[in-house]
């Protein structure tokens, strides 16, 4: 105790709290509200609910996603692992109340989990952008794949999306940045995640079906900035994902495909209708 | 600076849900204007307050001016509760996240007390229920407000609440609203009101014309 008093230092504490961004929801909050709202129902991301029986079914598919991603990238798995190992301290500090089973000698299992979950998320986002935003068929997965085929993915996406915003099921974005950098063979950059609005196809839609880069679109604030054809994809995603209401909610900034090409929406709320798409 | 780039998906979702926060310097006339609560939508409408959907989707886009309360559209679906609980839990656990969602939900909760309020807001196009029953929406707000705790009222929404309550306290507004609700609610009531007035005036005139010759003859 004496030692703790000596060592107490606000600036050290500030750094510690600053690194922390993912939390276990305290038991009393769960009791007051709904205990299952903060935990994953389908796929676990990160350490808090890793290995729980009802989430085990997805473990195999997470590993499969990793295999596909690594194979496509044509880089050794060790490179992905090394990229995460570089930031492992930062990652562990991001989790409040991290179990001891991930620390010390078991750090490698923590790294392994981060690589697997990160690759799974990257694959999911890639699939979301291909399936929800374009009509392309991805031949990297079998047409009857239980997770990554078009039909399965469309069925599962809303569940996955809900799991992706559960408080106890978060993965620091740093993981995705590092893995994505290795995949593309570029140094990692702090990307400005302009893609907002999870209600959309994804909070973070990276459109890298052909070109491997993040397409920054932010339909909420300004859609003029949006690249013209990616807007059409966004519109398509909206139609897939939610009911007509969602489209209304975003001010009806939607394009509808007709026989004569793609038509801009009628301007609502005094907003300018957009330029016609090619 | 790092925070602006997003920590994880929930953080990105939170940033997008909150949108940009308008600049607010505080009201000119002191603390007394901030209030904790407002009456529910039905009571507000009886006091003559009109409801309007705001042009944007921004949860900060709540205002009260000239008897019109503007609020963004509230969409209620099956996953709304789960989304909001996570957003609010994040604000609770991560101090840097601010308290925008908590403040917004606290405001909407005061407006929505019962299913009647939900129905009223739906009829104004400010509430869309995709999950079926209005009761579920009311229950959701009861659950959510357990996470609001004691929020600071010294902000823009507290000021809006103050303005709304000041409007409700004026008796004149209540009378006018009562008149509008009773007599202008549909054309038939209004026509019968006009007919009654016309008949009353006609009867009055007839009485006068009957009385006047009685005296002038003499």
Would you mind telling me the total number of residues written for chain B in this entry?
218
CA distance A204 to chain B (A): 8
Separation of alpha carbons A64 and A214, rounded Å: 23
**B 23-62 residues inside an 8 A Cβ radius of A:** 55-57
| CB neighbour class for A184 (10 Å; exposed up to 12, middle 13-18, buried from 19) | middle
pLDDT tens across B7-34, in order?
Answer: 888 887 787 677 777 777 766 655 556 7
Do A21 and B94 make contact, defined as CB atoms within 8 angstroms?
yes
CA distance B157 to chain A (A): 22
Are B120 and B47 in contact, with CB atoms under 8 Å apart?
no
Separation of alpha carbons B87 and A266, rounded Å: 33
pLDDT tens across B200-210, in order?
Answer: 999 999 999 99
Mean pLDDT confidence for B159-186? 82
**A 197-226 residues inside an 8 A Cβ radius of B:** 197-198, 203-204, 220-221
CA nearest neighbour of A88 among A117, A115, A62: A115
Identify the pLDDT of residue A149. Answer: 85
Identify the pLDDT of residue B3. Answer: 42
Mean pLDDT confidence for B56-84? 87
Are A194 and A216 in contact, with CB atoms under 8 Å apart?
yes
Query: Which CA distances in Å does A232 have to A75, A150, A219, A224?
Result: 33, 19, 11, 12
Residues in chain A with CB shorter than 8 Å from the CB of B4 are 192
Number of CB pairs, chain A paired with chain B, less than 8 A apart = 117
Residue A95 burial (CB count, 10 A): 23
Q: Going by C-beta distance under 8 Å and a sequence separation of 6 or more, which residues neighbour residue A73?
A: A182, A183, A184, A185
Query: Which CA distances in Å does B88 have to A37, A64, B57, B102, B162?
Result: 12, 34, 19, 6, 24
Residues in chain B with CB shorter than 8 Å from the CB of A26 are 93
- Which residue did the predictor score with more confidence, A184 or A35? A35
CA distance A93 to chain B (A): 13
**B 89-118 residues inside an 8 A Cβ radius of A:** 89-90, 92-95
Partner B contacted by A189 (CB < 8 A): no
CA distance B65 to chain A (A): 19
Find the distance separating the first CA and the last CA of chain A, reported in whole Å.
69
Q: Tell whether the model's pLDDT for residue A237 goes beyond 80.
A: no
Separation of alpha carbons B166 and B149, rounded Å: 25
Both tokens assigned to A230: 């990616």
Give me the interface pTM, i.e. the ipTM: 0.75
CA nearest neighbour of B69 among B50, B43, B55, B42: B50
Which of the four pLDDT bands, split at 50, 70 and 90, describes residue A197? very low
Q: Which residue of B73, B85, B95 is in closest CB contact with A34?
A: B85
Do A196 and B15 make contact, defined as CB atoms within 8 angstroms?
yes
DSSP A267: P
CA nearest neighbour of A33 among B199, B89, B133, B113: B89
Q: At what angle do helices B115-123 and B134-144 cross, to 10 degrees?
A: 110
Which of the four pLDDT bands, split at 50, 70 and 90, describes residue A128? low
Mean pLDDT confidence for A45-65? 93
- CA A243, A249, A254, A257: dihedral to nearest 10 degrees? 20
Do B12 and A25 make contact, defined as CB atoms within 8 angstroms?
no
B139: closest chain A residue by CA: A33
Both tokens assigned to B12: 């990105």
Q: Tell whether the model's pLDDT for residue A231 goes beyond 60.
A: no
Identify the pLDDT of residue A251. Answer: 31
Q: Which CB contacts under 8 angstroms, 24+ apart, belong to B118-127? A: B120/B41, B120/B42, B120/B45, B120/B51, B121/B41, B121/B51, B121/B74, B124/B51, B124/B52, B124/B53, B125/B53, B125/B73, B126/B51, B126/B52, B126/B53, B126/B71, B126/B72, B126/B73, B126/B74, B127/B73, B127/B74, B127/B76
Of the listed ranges A84-88, A198-202, B69-73, the one predicted with least confidence: A198-202
Residues in chain A with CB shorter than 8 Å from the CB of B19 are 220-221
Of the listed ranges A1-10, A98-107, A165-174, A179-188, the one predicted with least confidence: A179-188
Separation of alpha carbons A41 and A44, rounded Å: 8
Instruction: Please give the helix or strand (H or E) that residue A263 lies within, else none.
Output: strand A261-263
Both tokens assigned to A270: 């005094």
CA distance B5 to chain A (A): 5
Separation of alpha carbons B127 and A25, rounded Å: 30
The residue ranges of DSSP E strands in chain B, in sequence order, are 50-53, 63-65, 68-71, 74-76, 127-129
- Which residue did the predictor score with more confidence, B181 or A276? B181
Partner B contacted by A94 (CB < 8 A): yes
Do A164 and B9 make contact, defined as CB atoms within 8 angstroms?
yes
Are A171 and A76 in contact, with CB atoms under 8 Å apart?
no
């Amino acid at each position: 105790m004496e030692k703790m008093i000596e060592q107490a230092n606000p600036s050290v504490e500030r750094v510690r709290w600053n690194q922390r961004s993912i939390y276990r929801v305290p038991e009393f909050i769960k009791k007051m509200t709904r205990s299952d709202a903060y935990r994953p129902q389908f796929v676990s991301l990160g350490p808090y609910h890793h290995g729980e029986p009802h989430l085990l079914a997805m473990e195999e598919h997470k590993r499969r996603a990793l295999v596909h991603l690594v194979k496509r990238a044509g880089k050794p798995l060790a490179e992905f692992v090394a990229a995460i190992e570089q930031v492992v301290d930062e990652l562990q500090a991001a989790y409040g109340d991290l179990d001891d089973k991930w620390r010390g000698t078991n750090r490698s299992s923590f790294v392994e989990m981060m690589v697997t979950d990160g690759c799974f998320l990257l694959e999911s986002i890639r699939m979301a952008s291909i399936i929800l935003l374009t009509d392309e068929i991805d031949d990297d997965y079998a047409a009857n794949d239980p997770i990554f085929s078009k039909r399965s993915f469309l069925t599962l996406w809303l569940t996955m999306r809900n799991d992706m915003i559960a408080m106890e099921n978060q993965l620091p974005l740093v993981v995705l940045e590092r893995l994505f950098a290795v995949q593309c063979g570029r140094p990692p950059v702090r990307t400005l995640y302009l893609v907002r609005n999870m209600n959309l196809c994804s909070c973070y839609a990276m459109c890298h079906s052909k070109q491997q880069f993040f397409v920054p679109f932010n339909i909420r604030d300004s859609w003029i900035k949006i690249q013209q054809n990616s807007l059409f994809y966004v519109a398509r995603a909206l139609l897939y994902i939610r009911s007509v209401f969602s489209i209304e909610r975003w001010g009806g900034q939607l394009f509808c495909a007709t026989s004569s090409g793609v038509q801009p929406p009628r301007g609502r709320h005094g907003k300018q209708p957009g330029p016609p798409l090619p | 600076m790092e925070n602006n780039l997003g920590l994880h998906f929930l953080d990105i979702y939170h940033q997008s849900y909150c949108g940009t926060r308008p600049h607010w310097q505080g009201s000119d006339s002191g603390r007394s204007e901030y209030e904790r609560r407002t009456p529910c939508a039905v009571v507000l409408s009886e006091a003559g307050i009109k409801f309007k959907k705001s042009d944007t989707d921004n949860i900060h886009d709540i205002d009260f001016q000239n008897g019109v309360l503007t609020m963004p559209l509230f969409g209620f679906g099956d996953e709304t509760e789960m989304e909001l609980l996570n957003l609010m839990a994040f604000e609770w656990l991560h101090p840097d996240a601010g308290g925008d969602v908590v403040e917004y939900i606290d405001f909407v909760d005061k407006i929505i007390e019962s299913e009647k309020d939900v129905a009223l807001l739906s009829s104004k196009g400010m509430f869309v229920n995709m999950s079926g029953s209005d009761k579920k929406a009311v229950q959701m707000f009861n659950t959510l407000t357990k996470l609001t705790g004691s929020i600071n009222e010294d902000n823009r929404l507290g000021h809006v609440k103050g303005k709304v309550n000041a409007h409700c306290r004026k008796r004149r507004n209540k009378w006018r609203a009562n008149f509008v609700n009773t007599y202008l609610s549909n054309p038939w009531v209004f026509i019968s009101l006009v007919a009654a007035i016309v008949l009353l005036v006609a009867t009055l005139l007839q009485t006068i014309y009957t009385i006047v010759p009685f005296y002038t003859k003499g």
